Amino acid sequence: MSALTLRQRLSAIETGALSASASIAEFAERVDAADGDIRAFVRRAPAETLEAARHAAGPLAGIPLGIKDIYDTADMATEHGSPIYAGHRPRADATLVAIAREKGAFIAGKTATTEFAYLTPAKTRNPRDLAHTPGGSSSGSAAAVASGMVAGAFGSQTAGSIIRPAAFCGVAGYKPSFRLLPTVGMKSFAWSLDTAGLFAPTVSDVALLAALLTGRALDVEPVEARDLRIGIYRSGADDALSPEMAEAVSRAGRLMERAGASLIDVAETETLAAARLAQPLIQSYEGAQSLAHERLIEGARLSESLRQALAEGAALSPERYDEARRAARQGRKAATALFEEVDALIAPSALGAAPASLATTGDPAMNRLWTVTGNPCVNVPGFQDEDGLPLGITLVTRFGRDRAALSIADLLERLQRPD
Amino acid sequence: MSALTLRQRLSAIETGALSASASIAEFAERVDAADGDIRAFVRRAPAETLEAARHAAGPLAGIPLGIKDIYDTADMATEHGSPIYAGHRPRADATLVAIAREKGAFIAGKTATTEFAYLTPAKTRNPRDLAHTPGGSSSGSAAAVASGMVAGAFGSQTAGSIIRPAAFCGVAGYKPSFRLLPTVGMKSFAWSLDTAGLFAPTVSDVALLAALLTGRALDVEPVEARDLRIGIYRSGADDALSPEMAEAVSRAGRLMERAGASLIDVAETETLAAARLAQPLIQSYEGAQSLAHERLIEGARLSESLRQALAEGAALSPERYDEARRAARQGRKAATALFEEVDALIAPSALGAAPASLATTGDPAMNRLWTVTGNPCVNVPGFQDEDGLPLGITLVTRFGRDRAALSIADLLERLQRPD
């Protein structure tokens, strides 16, 4: 890991203690040394891009970012984790990429994604233990940040593809309120779920990155624990949690309580459970449409599992889909109502630590609800199981209260950090 | 104009009275004869696509469609009406294009769009009078249908780009409920407004096309006028209506009333006016982001007016944008409430007939509200001014009630048709 946080690095660059060029070179060396094992990158920036970034100005000058390979880049191929797009070179940068460059960031390369951001794993390995999955679908972005090869990264979540890999790799992951970050130029899987988001080593870093990219007041601000009502969200899927994960959630609650927050158990209502269960249907129906060309014309080059998932989606009736969307809409209202009782919810980011396999990216069961409701979520890193593998805690707030999500997550991260 | 409606044509093909191949050939001859004057097409299908379509099976076999040149096509360049994308060849078809091909339709060519579907006119001329604009931004799609060069066409609306050109060219235009038709693979201008939609000669035709493309129950069904409560929507922008347009709205109301419907005047509320006025702000802010690459890297190749519009959008604060989105959200609720009092609204589709100019595409003032609220809208063709130029009437229903919009619009079209 790099010795400096993103915040410290930007400060060092601002004061002149570190040059943008030296900052970038430091990360590039780290990629050279580590990525042979970790395989976070599928493509690195061309020499011209590197050269331009060394002299870039702007609030993100000197900051290398890894970009999930479903975001279009004009200077590099964009392959969506599929042989169908081998060598495909978009005409323009995706909106978020263009904005990052405008702010001076170095687009260091494209990070590995599962096939079309669905389930077929990329080759990436978990930097915390190479035998374990880094999670998916934003596998390379989470792993690149966790191994200090970039200062931040872009990902996307349609079911659990930001929060889960952030949890497995032990970094901060931020899934903003739905459509806070533009998805233009990002390969679509399910338009009513696809959410662009960010990774960074710490919550404070990811908040700063979000603030600088958007010009919004998203940076963490001090919060008083004693003013907070924190809910522990009890999902109908909690039965599948590992004991370590359940204990990490309890521990997170105790830390907040000890700091002065009041703690409330929040049971999943039927409406919220229905929204959670509607997520796979929406994803499947829209996926069959978003990938209509690939499904109908190039199906032979899809993985067996994706081909089957898309066939199932294509077989769903519009009525079934509309019913799922109604459940989602009711779920959004029910989620908003939860935040009349609490300021934030704590929930597991995954069923447990990263599975000891590269043949799966793990289960998004804990993430589906908050994707379908569009609430802001932050994965708080720092919790661990007995083997030292990361366990992620999700901090959720009301739709549009992204700054609160980031600020309270930052508080929790600091409370559990062994100083 | 072709002698057969889309419905009659499909019926003739189904019974074998007409072959798909002969149907396609008939339209191709019409393009050869007419498009030199009208300039609806910027690109026609390659020979292989034509050949494949001659032997295609499916519910749309024998039906040629014109595709607005902001939809990706794998077999033809997609230029978005901009020199920046000259010769740009996408890797995959847009979702709607892929689905149309699956159903057997012949993708006959790409139709002219204004620059990035904004205001800079294409070269297309109005088939009803070549000195007049066909409207925009879906200029070529409306003109191609109006001149019988295709049986139907795809367009998109971010402010008024389906309903206005349909009105100016005297064809049916259907702007579905927001996101009923997928926009995947369609160039984005403003993601919370961009709406994919359809053109056909008559309302009945456009409903059938929508039903066959989506597998949804969208085809027109009989409606009893005496069961209908019809509102005449009085917008705060009505002062700018031409006298002929105001009279056409009155006439539409009288026709419905004579057929047995009850008629109600519906005045625009402050909330709805605020939503209408929020539309340009949302479009401008999101446009600056959607076209970030073009604005930041290739700005010299944008028209002066678009460059300026995007610069204004980039200068808007997130707070101003969020305020506009709140107004839009309140407007959506207020629009839903309107339909507790009425089954459908009648409104002008444009300020008047098509302006006698090719330097403007007309004003979307009458369309902005319904784009921002996402309600289904149908342009009912058939009304005319003293010079015989088309005047369009918009039929609006509650969000999700697309079949009612199409069915009531079909009734109105039949009521005013001189049999």
Residues B97 and B165 in one domain: yes
| A185·B93 Cβ contact <8 A | no
Question: Which of B102, B215, B292 comes nearest A318 by C-beta?
Answer: B215
DSSP element (H, E) containing B376:
none
Look at residue A408 and tell me if it is in a domain: no
Share of chain B above pLDDT 70, in %: 99
Give backbone dihedrals phi and psi of B248, rounded to 5 degrees, phi first.
Answer: -65, -40
Residue B353's CB is within 10 A of a number of other CB atoms, namely 28
Nearest to B122 by CA among B133, B108, B131, B110: B133
| Closest residue, chain A, to B289 (C-alpha) | A95
Look at residue A139 and tell me if it is in a domain: yes
Task: Name the residue with tokens 């010079």.
Answer: B387
Give backbone dihedrals phi and psi of B384, rounded to 5 degrees, phi first.
Answer: -145, 160
Please say if the pLDDT value at position B1 is more than 50. Answer: no
Residues of B in contact with A216 (CB under 8 A): 318
In contact, B189 and B279? CB cutoff 8 Å: no
Nearest to A173 by CA among A162, A182, A181, A183: A162
Q: What is the pLDDT of residues B328-338, one digit of tens each?
A: 999 999 999 99
In this predicted structure, what is the pLDDT of residue A130? 98
Secondary structure, 3-state, A103-122: CCCEEEEEECCCHHHCCCCC
Q: What angle do CA A345, A347, A351 make, to 5 degrees?
A: 170
In this predicted structure, what is the pLDDT of residue A151? 97
Query: What would the DSSP string read from start to end of A378-400?
Result: EEEEEEE-TTS-EEEEEEE--TT
Residue ranges of chain A whose pLDDT lies below 70: 1-2, 418-419
CA distances (Å), B77 to each of B90, B92, B375, in order?
A: 7, 11, 32
| B289·A184 Cβ contact <8 A | yes
Give backbone dihedrals phi and psi of B362, rounded to 5 degrees, phi first.
Answer: 90, 180
Question: Which of B88, B182, B289 comes nearest A191 by C-beta?
Answer: B182
| B41-44, strands of its sheet edge to edge | B41-44, B106-111, B64-68, B152-157, B195-200, B172-175, B377-384, B390-396, B344-348, B229-234, B262-267
Residues B144 and B116 in one domain: yes
Looking only at the bridges linking them, the beta strands covering B390-396 and B377-384 are: antiparallel
Look at residue B179 and tell me if it is in a domain: yes
Say which DSSP state B302 is in.
S
Distance of CA A26 to the CA centre of its chain: 24
Nearest to B172 by CA among B6, B359, B341, B30: B6
| A64-68, strands of its sheet edge to edge | A41-44, A106-111, A64-68, A152-157, A195-200, A172-175, A377-384, A390-396, A344-348, A229-234, A262-267
Look at residue B66 and tell me if it is in a domain: yes
Residue B315's CB is within 10 A of a number of other CB atoms, namely 11
Residues B214 and B357 in one domain: yes
Residues of B in contact with A185 (CB under 8 A): 293
H helical segments located in A125-242: 139-146, 163-169, 203-214
| A289·B99 Cβ contact <8 A | yes
In this predicted structure, what is the pLDDT of residue B4? 86
Q: Which distant-in-sequence residues (6+ apart) come within 8 Å of A132 by Cβ?
A: A125, A126, A168, A353, A354, A355, A356, A357, A358, A389
Question: Which of A98, A184, A294 comes nearest B188 by C-beta?
Answer: A184
- Across-strand partners of B126? B129
Residues B63 and B119 in one domain: yes
Say which DSSP state A236 is in.
T
Q: What angle do CA B329, A156, A211 make, to 5 degrees?
A: 65
Q: What is the pLDDT of residues B348-380, one digit of tens each?
A: 999 999 999 999 999 999 999 999 999 999 999
Residues B257 and B351 in one domain: yes
CATH of the domain at A148: 3.90.1300.10
The minimum CA-CA distance between A294 and chain B, rounded to whole Å, is 8
In contact, A65 and A150? CB cutoff 8 Å: yes
Look at residue A398 and tell me if it is in a domain: no
| A92·B182 Cβ contact <8 A | no
Please say if the pLDDT value at position B2 is more than 80. Answer: no
Look at residue A23 and tell me if it is in a domain: yes
Task: Name the residue with tokens 């959008």.
Answer: B313
Domain boundary among B291, B308, B329: B329
Residues B278 and B252 in one domain: no
Q: Which tokens go with B168?
A: 């100016």
Give backbone dihedrals phi and psi of A343, rounded to 5 degrees, phi first.
Answer: -85, -30
Q: Inter-axis angle of helices A47-54 and A20-38, to 10 degrees?
A: 140
In contact, B301 and B323? CB cutoff 8 Å: no
Please say if the pLDDT value at position B24 is more than 70. Answer: yes
The minimum CA-CA distance between B186 and chain A, rounded to whole Å, is 10
Residues B411 and B353 in one domain: yes
DSSP element (H, E) containing A343:
none
| B182·A289 Cβ contact <8 A | yes
Q: What is the dihedral of CA A195, A199, A202, A205, to 10 degrees?
A: -90
Q: What is the pLDDT of residues B223-259, one digit of tens each?
A: 999 999 999 999 999 999 999 999 999 999 999 999 9
In this predicted structure, what is the pLDDT of residue B113? 98
Residues B121 and B12 in one domain: yes
Residues of A in contact with B292 (CB under 8 A): 93, 95, 98-99, 102, 184
Residues of B in contact with A101 (CB under 8 A): 296
Look at residue A173 and tell me if it is in a domain: yes
Q: Which tokens go with A142?
A: 């989470």
d(CA B153, CA B199): 5
Residues B316 and B209 in one domain: no
d(CA A24, CA A65): 10
Residues B180 and B319 in one domain: no
In contact, A10 and A63? CB cutoff 8 Å: yes
d(CA A160, CA A166): 10
Range of the domain at B309: 272-329
CA distances (Å), B79 to each of A32, B112, B193, B212, in order?
A: 39, 9, 21, 28
What mean pLDDT do residues B34-52 have? 98
Burial class (CB in 10 A: 0-12, 13-18, 19+), A131: exposed
The minimum CA-CA distance between A184 and chain B, rounded to whole Å, is 6
Question: Which of A84, A179, A182 comes nearest B290 by C-beta?
Answer: A182
Residues B314 and B384 in one domain: no
Q: What band does B418 get if pLDDT is binned at 50, 70 and 90?
A: low
Look at residue A125 and tell me if it is in a domain: yes
Q: Inter-axis angle of helices A6-15 and A203-214, to 10 degrees?
A: 60
Residues B286 and B380 in one domain: no
Q: Which distant-in-sequence residues (6+ apart) come within 8 Å of B253 by Cβ?
A: B230, B232, B263, B346
Q: What is the pLDDT of residues B85-100, one digit of tens each?
A: 999 999 999 999 999 9
| B292·A318 Cβ contact <8 A | no
Q: Is the peptide bond before A284 cis (omega within 30 degrees of 0)?
A: no
Q: What is the dihedral of CA A46, A52, A57, A60, to 10 degrees?
A: 10
Give me chain B's average pLDDT, please: 97
In this predicted structure, what is the pLDDT of residue B419? 54
Q: What is the pLDDT of residues B149-197, one digit of tens each?
A: 999 999 999 999 999 999 999 999 999 999 999 999 999 999 999 999 9
Question: Which of B95, B185, B292 comes nearest A98 by C-beta?
Answer: B292
Interface test with A, best of B177, B293, B298, B323 (most A CBs within 10 A): B293
The minimum CA-CA distance between A209 and chain B, rounded to whole Å, is 16
d(CA A154, CA A78): 14
Number of domains in chain A: 1
The minimum CA-CA distance between A359 and chain B, rounded to whole Å, is 29
DSSP element (H, E) containing A355:
none
Say which DSSP state B201 is in.
S
In contact, A261 and A376? CB cutoff 8 Å: no
Looking only at the bridges linking them, the beta strands covering B152-157 and B195-200 are: antiparallel
The minimum CA-CA distance between B375 and chain A, rounded to whole Å, is 16
